[in-house]
Amino acid sequence: MNIKSSPLRRPSRALATLSVIASLVFLGACASKGVAPVEELANARASIAQAESAGALQLAPVEMLAARDKMNTAEAAAREERFVESRRMAEQAMADAEVAERKSRAEKASRTVAELKRGNEVLRQETQRRP
């Protein structure tokens, strides 16, 4: 009987091959940190700056605090090379900043409308007083 063609030899060879493949996949998954979310972090920073310039610090402070907290978490995760978490937190920070900016702009618009209504009411009262 030839050892190379022995039926007992084939399963152990297949098992060894399978073990090597599984080990490589496992090591590859552990070693792969992914790609740093540079673009996502930059976009989130830009969104936060834009929200701040829209007055969100005063008009949407809760949303701005959430955006800044998530941005800090994203940056910390990036420094620790936890890129998936960093990307996710940067995207959430950007979304929170956009909400803060929109809320701020909506509040400003609402205040402008209220001011215009008061001005119109004053004009209406003045026109009614004059004969």
Q: What percent of the chain has pLDDT over 70?
A: 74
Examine the pLDDT at 3 and tell me if it is beyond 80: no
Ramachandran bin of 82, using left for φ above 0, alpha for ψ from -120 to 50, beta for the remaining angles: beta
SS3 at position 6: coil
Taking CA atoms, 72 is separated from 89, 92, 94, 123, in Å, by 9, 11, 12, 50
What digits encode the pLDDT tens for the residues 69-79? 999 999 999 99
- Res 126: pLDDT: 86
What digits encode the pLDDT tens for the residues 24-82? 555 444 445 789 999 999 999 999 999 999 999 999 999 999 999 999 999 999 999 99
Examine the pLDDT at 108 and tell me if it is beyond 70: yes
pTM value is 0.68
Domain parsing of the chain, residue ranges:
36-129
- The answer to whether residues 95 and 76 touch, using CB atoms and an 8 Å cutoff, is no
Examine the pLDDT at 9 and tell me if it is beyond 60: no
**Residue 18 identity:** L
- Res 18: pLDDT: 54
- Res 76: pLDDT: 97
Q: Which CATH architecture has domain 36-129?
A: Up-down Bundle (1.20)
